[in-house]
Amino acid sequence: MQSNLFRTIGPVLALVTIGAWGGCAEVQRAAEDAARRSGDERLAKVIHGGGTLVSGLMPIGYEEERSIGAAIALQVIARYGGVYDQPDLTRYVNLVGHAVALTCDRPDIPYHFAVLNHDSINAFAAPGGYIFVTRGLLKQVRNEAELAAVLGHEIAHVSQKHILEVIQRSKRLAGITEAGLAYANQNPDMFKGLIDAAAKKLLDEGLDQDKELEGDSLGDLFAARVGYDPTAYVSLLTRLRAAKGDDRAFFKSHPNFSTRIGAVQEVIQMHGWKATGVLVEDRFTRLRGRL
C-alpha cells in the first residue's frame, strides 16, 4: 500500500518540485486543478503542499526584500528621531553613497541614503538598499573618503544580504513555508514578528562579529575602487576608538575598534594599497556646515 502510494505521489512530487524550482507556478496550479477536477482531493493537497514546501526553501527575492527593507527602515527612522531634512546634505550623502554603490558587488539594485536626526554615532543598513547615517557620526567624520568608507560598510551589509539571512532564519524557525509575501498578506502579525525581531537585531543587539568585519573590509574595498584613500577608514576608526574607548564599540556583540582596525589594515596590506591622500576634504567641509 505504502509503495503504491509512493509510486503515485513520487512522480507528481518530482514534477511539482521541478516546476517550482523552474519558476513554473502555473504548472503547479494546473496540476493541482487537474487533480481536483478528477476528484482526487488528496493528490491536489499533496501537489499544493509540495509546491509550498519547495518555495519556502527559496532565497528571499528582491520584491520581498524591498518590502522587508521598507518596514525595517520605518523602525530605524522612528527610533532615531526621524530624518534630518537638509536638501544639500541629503544630496551630498546620496552622491557619495551612489558613487560607492555603483562599484559594489551588487550594483544592480537602487540604493537610498538618508541622515538621521540623532546625536549618537551610528549607521544602519536595511535590506533593499536603505542606508542611514546619524548626524552624530557625520560630526565625527573629517573628509569624504571617511564618509565613503562608512557608507561602503553599510552597502556591504546590503550586498552580502546580512539582515536578510536573519530574516530567512526567522522565517524557517516560524515555520513559514509560503512563498513570497503571501504570508505577510495572510498573517500580518507573523510579518510584524519577523520585522520586529530583525529590527531588534539591527538596532539593539547588532549583527554578528564576522558580518561586521566583512562590512569593514568590503566597505573599504568599495571606497578604494571609487578612488578614495583606503587608509582614511583606519583614521576614522582610530579616532572613534580614542573618543569612545576600545571596549565601547557600538554594541556588545560588535568587535572592538582594535579588531576592526586590524581587519581593515589586513585588507590594505593584502591589496598592497598605499595612502594616496585622496580625501576630498574641501567639499565635505562645505557640507559639514549644514549639520
- Footprint on this chain of another protein (rule: CB under 8 A): 20-25, 55, 58-64, 66-67, 70-71, 73-75, 77-78, 82-83, 90, 94-96, 98-99, 102-103, 105-110, 112-114, 130, 144, 179-182, 184-185, 188-189, 191-192, 195-196, 224-228, 278, 280, 283
CB of 37 to another protein, least distance (A): 21
Q: Are 278 and 228 in contact (CB under 8 A)?
A: yes
Which residue's CB is nearer to another protein, number 12 or number 58? 58
What is each CA distance from 69 to 74, 80, 130, 167, in whole angstroms?
9, 16, 7, 11
182 or 242, CB closer to another protein? 182
Q: Which are the contacts of 6, defined by CB distance < 8 A and separation ≥ 6?
A: none
Measured from the CB atom, the residue of 160 and 235 that comes closer to another protein is 160
Beta strand pairing call for 130-134 and 112-116: parallel
Residue 6 Cβ vs another protein, minimum distance, rounded to whole Å = 26
- 5/57 with CB nearer another protein: 57
**Could you tell me the smallest distance in angstroms from the CB atom of residue 111 to another protein?**
9
Min. distance of Cβ 200 from another protein in angstroms?
13
Phi-psi region of 37 (alpha: psi -120 to 50; beta: other; left: phi over 0): alpha
If the CB atoms of residues 64 and 212 are measured against another protein, the closer one turns out to be 64
User: Shortest Cβ distance from residue 223 to another protein (Å)?
Assistant: 10
